[in-house]
Structure formats: structure tokens, C-alpha cells
Amino acid sequence: MKTKNAWFIFIAFAVCFSTKAQIQTADVNNISQIINWMKDGVTTKIIFPAGTYNFTSTISLENDDLILEGSGMDETIIKLAAVKNSLIDAKGNNAHISKLTLDGGHNQKSWGNPIFRFNKSKGHYFEDVLFTNSKWMGIAGINAYPTDGLKLIRCEFSNIDLMCLQIFNRNTIKRGGEVIVSVDKVIIDECIFHEGYETGISSDNGNDREDSGDGTGRRYTESTSLSGTEITNCIFDKSKQFHIAMVQSKDVLIQNNTFYGMTDDAGGGCQPIHMEQFTHNMEIYDNTFYMDNTVEQKYMYIHINGTEGHKRVTQQQPSNTYPTWTYNVYGSNERRADTSCAKEGHINKDCKRDVHAYGPRNIYVAGNTFNESTKVSNYFSANEGENIQIGIKKDGTVSLNKFLGGDENSAKIHLGGNDEGTGDVLIKAGQNVVPSNVEIKDVYFDLPAIRLQKPIVVETKSDVSVTKVNQEECSFYPNPSSGSLSFKNTINIKSVQIIDLSGNKLKFYTKSELSSNFLKIKDLKPGTYMVNILLESGEQTTEKLIIKY
């Protein structure tokens, strides 16, 4: 009996010791040990005390479910200190990384390399992480594989020169011909994209493949589903090109974000949200758009383009339709059919594209605020589209947009295209949009416009009952704020409450606390909040507040 009991005690001790040994504490002076823990198949958690950890070789993260926990993104820094492809090459799945900075040191070796690379891996979760100092990207997949199941919660990107995040790249040849038709859902919530990047979030979907032997290729799928990917509650500082850019993408929610427009040196053809070719099932709700008047040219806020649907998108064999067109999957203008004669398709059949089917479908734009600017050409633009609902959510809920500024002569919404144009559009009344604000372009090819069968409807009389609050009674400034709020008039305000995006009540002020028309809020972290204002009349309004230091 004693021998048996002793054996049980030994096993229990061994299990306890083994479990304890799986949790390690990093030593800033023993980098090689950290590298070994990442791939030893045993370690489940590495705690990083405050300090800067300089890595002169890429970290191969191979253990599944590995936890990397720092002391705070301003205190624990994991840095690439030599020229290498990436700081972390993740081959294991489901890493949970929190409370630290991943610093690329601007040491990425070649084009497209990120700070953190998904190497055919999935499910990586980042919480309170700063990605900084990359010549190319913050996060991307290897060899055109996607960032399946990525979660980014309260993360930040700074000094990223090209793309902060690339969800997917369609170069099928780099995957050995493997076709990907869906990407596991990506969640990006409460993140901040600091000025300096070209594109904040990119997903260049579909599947290209070079297999003809003469430098030409074909596209296998019309779109790739992002499986309900959510981009929510984020702040996008000024971009050199796009805040969010997607090609051949479907099934995405973009909600409650703030977009600050373009940098003064941005080029042409830029906009906060840019999508093209087979864009399906997009829900764009409750976002706020700004554009400074300092930029040199005019930009759109949202542009969903359908004018690159050349025959290449659906052909069954390389160049079997128009032999004079080539398609190089590695890029350059040769990859695209000649667009110089796009408007001559009715007289020059060699210029004609695939008809209309490549345009956007099922686009819902509701509850957004589009701020006035002298440098906005259109608030919303779509080409070759169908079923576009402006002021209505996918579930049928009416949620009106605020198209601020302008007059009856302003071009606020553009609906066009070369093939059959855009049809099946409903623009609800009450959004400061009248028929003369909607620019509807003629088609250029020899088919009738789709709007003749599926009309574009611009409502002039609202069927929605809305209780209006006098905004002068409760407006505040500045917004964004760097730690204080001033109210234009507090006479009729009963109370003010500040809540976070999860509904947590953070601040409550009574009328007496507003006597100076001024509030200090410096203890709130940078991010997006909601300000609930209750008037003496019992009416209330809620406005978005951005804290940005």
C-alpha cells in the first residue's frame, strides 16, 4: 500500500512540476533561450518583464496555443535588430500575444515582409499590442496565404510604410495552385492606425494562377468570402492611399470607425474605403468620415468600383478570349487588360469587357456621418452595381446617414459604369440628399442601362418618424479631443454621460458640474466613446467622441 501511495505522490509531483515548467519568464540577456522556448513543443506561456528584447534572427513561433505576455506596450519591446524577413514567423496556431510592442526596426529584408507573418497558421490573437517600424507591412501571410482567424483588440500601428495589415493576397501560383474561396473570420476592434501608412487594411482577394507557360494566367474565383469579418470601433489617421482596400471581397462588416481622410501628399485615386471587382455583401454602418481642406485634390469617401471586370475574370483558359491581352500574375500593367479604349466597346469589340456581372452587389450604407469638405468629390460612388441600399441596414432597419453640407447642386452620390451602369438603388429620404445630388452616368456599351429594368429611387418624402433634438443645445467641441470638452450652451442640458463602446458607464456629470461649459477628460485613454446628453425637456441625443492625444 505504501509503495502504491508513493507512486501516486510521485506522479502528482511530476505533473505539477511539468505544468509549472511550461510557463517561462524571459530574460532580456538570454535571447537564445526565448527562441528555443517558442518552438520546444512544451512551453505554453512566456512572460516578458519590462525591457527591450533585441533579436538578430527571426523568431520561429512553432508551439500551438502559446501565450506571450508583456508588461505593457510602452514597457515591453520585442525588436528585430538585424536585417531579416520578419520579426516573428508564426508556424504554430492560436498564439495569444498581449501587452507589448513588436518593433520591426525598419529591418525588413525585402518587399512585402511584415513584422508578424502567418506561415500557413491560423487563429492568432493580439490584445494591446503596438506594431511599429516596418518598411513594408505590420501583419501578413506567407506566400499569399491568408491571416485566417486573426483577432486584433485595442492594437496600434505606427511607422508602417506600406500596409498595416494584409488579410489576403490572391497569387495562387505562390500557393502551388491551391484555390482559397474563404478566409476564417477576422476581427479588428478598437485599433488605432497612426498616420504614415499607405493602406491600413488590405484584402486583395480572388485567385490568380500562372499556368500557361507564356507568362499569362487566369483567375479561378470571382470573390473570396471573408466570412463575416468585422472592422469595428477603429481610428484611421490620415492615409497616403487607402484606409481600407478590398478587391473581389465579400461578407464584411465595417462599423463605428473614424476615418480622417488623406495626407496632404496623397496621390490621385485615393479614398478612405476603396473596393473593386465582385464586391458583395458589404455592410458599412455608423462610421464617421473627415477630409481636411488642405489636400491638393478632391477625393471620394467611399468608392466601390466595377470597371476592371475584364474578360480575364471569368475565362476558362489563359487568353482564350482576346489573344492580344496578356495577364501577368506578378503584377504590372500587363496583368490587366488595356483600359485605354474602355469607352469604345460598342464600336471596337476587342475593347469590350465582361458585361456588368463584376460590379458590386448587396451594399448597405447606413447610419454614417459624412462631414462636409471642399476636398470631397463624392460621399459615395458605385459602378456597375445592384441592390445598393443607402439609409437601410441589411436586416431592413432604417438608419439614416448624415450627408453634411452642400446644396441641391452638389454631387454627393455617383452611380455609373461603362457596361450597364448601376441600378436597383434605394436612397432613403431625410439624409440631406435630393435627386439633383445624385449623379447618374450614361453607359458606353451597346446594352441598355440596368436602371431601366431596376430603377434608382431617391426618396423625397420620409416615412420614418424622427424625434429631432436641437443640436445647438447640446453640441460640444473639439472633436477629436485631446483631453477636454467645451459645450456651446449648457442652459438646457440636464446631464452628460460618457460610455465606452461596450456600454460601460465611465463618466457622469450633472448640470452643476457643467456650469463653466467645460469638462476635463484627460484620464480617458485614446479611442472612441459615446456621449449621452440628456436635456431638461427629457429628449436625449448620443454623439460619438474621439479621444486622440
Q: Which amino acid is at 376?
A: V
The amino acid at residue 358 is: Y
- Stated as kind and residue range, the H or E segment containing 15 is helix 2-21
Within a domain: 361: no
Burial tier of 180 (Cβ tally within 10 Å: 0-12, 13-18, 19+): buried
Report yes or no: 414 and 422 within 8 Å, Cβ to Cβ. Answer: no
Instruction: Assess if residue 132 is contained within a domain.
Output: yes
Residue type, 30: N
- DSSP assignment of 199-257 equals EEEEEEEEEEEE-SSSS-EEE--S-EEEEEEEEES-EE--BSSEEEEEESEEEEEEES-
Query: What's the average model confidence in pLDDT over 304-309?
Result: 71
67 falls within a domain: yes
- Cell (9 digits) for 382: 458605385
Distances in whole angstroms, Cα of residue 281 to Cα of each of 250, 384, 386, 401 = 5, 15, 11, 19
Alpha carbon distance 66, 93 (integer Å): 8
SS3 514: helix
Nearest to 528 by CA among 290, 99, 195, 236: 236
Phi, psi of 444 (to 5 degrees): -115, -15
Count up the domains in the chain and report the number. Answer: 2
Is residue 459 domain-resident?
no
End-to-end CA distance of the chain: 69
Give the C-alpha separation, 384 to 281, whole Å.
15
Please tell me whether the peptide bond between 478 and the residue prior to it is cis, using omega within 30 degrees of 0: yes
- Write out the DSSP string of 406-431: --TT---EEEE-SSS---SEEE-SSS
pTM confidence score = 0.83
* pLDDT tens per residue across span 170-227: 887 788 778 888 999 999 999 999 999 999 999 999 876 554 454 444 555 678 999 9
Chain Cα centroid distance, residue 285: 13
Half-sphere exposure for 268 (CA within 13 Å, toward CB)? 0
- Among 176, 208, 227, where does a domain finish? 227
Say how many C-beta atoms besides its own lie within 10 A of residue 153's C-beta.
Answer: 16
Residue 214 and residue 170 in contact, taking contact as beta carbons nearer than 8 Å: no
User: What pLDDT, in 10s, does the model give residues 415-433?
Assistant: 998 778 999 999 999 999 9
- Whether residue 327 lies inside any domain: the answer is no
Q: Please tell me the predicted confidence (pLDDT) of residue 497.
A: 86
| Domain limits for position 541 | 471-547
For 375-392, the pLDDT digits (tens) are 999 999 999 999 999 999
Does the structure show a pLDDT above 50 at 325? Answer: no
Residue at 276 is within a domain = no
Task: List CB contacts of 428: < 8 A, sequence separation 6 or more.
Answer: 390, 391, 392, 398, 400, 459, 462, 464
User: In Å, what is the CA distance from 345 to each residue of 273, 335, 350, 416?
Assistant: 29, 20, 7, 16
Q: Which of 185-194, 348-357, 512-521 has the highest mean pLDDT?
A: 185-194
Cα–Cα distances in Å, from 247 out to 55, 291, 358, 359?
35, 24, 11, 11
Reported as a pLDDT band with limits 50, 70 and 90, residue 43 is very high
Domain of residue 488, CATH code:
2.60.40.3080
pLDDT surpassing 60 at residue 17: no
234-257 pLDDT, tens digit each: 999 999 999 999 999 999 999 999
The strand pairing partners of 118, in sequence order, are 90, 141
Q: Where residue 189 sits, what CATH number does that domain have?
A: 2.160.20
Q: What share of the chain is helix, strand, coil (3-state, %, to 5)?
A: 10, 40, 50
Flag the least confident range among 181-190, 204-213, 287-296, 512-521: 204-213
Grouping H, G, I as helix, E, B as strand and the rest as coil, residue 448 is coil
Domain membership of residue 445 (yes or no) is no
* 338 pLDDT above the threshold of 50: no
Contact present, 423 and 451 (Cβ < 8 Å): yes
Rg of the Cα trace of the chain? 26
179 has which bridge partners?
none
457 CA to centre of own chain: 30
Q: In what order do the strands lie in the sheet with 484-487?
A: 476-477, 484-487, 518-520
Residue 314: band (very low, low, confident or very high) from pLDDT cuts 50, 70, 90: very low
Please state, rounded to an integer, the average pLDDT across all residues of the chain: 84
Helix (H) or strand (E) holding 439: strand 438-440
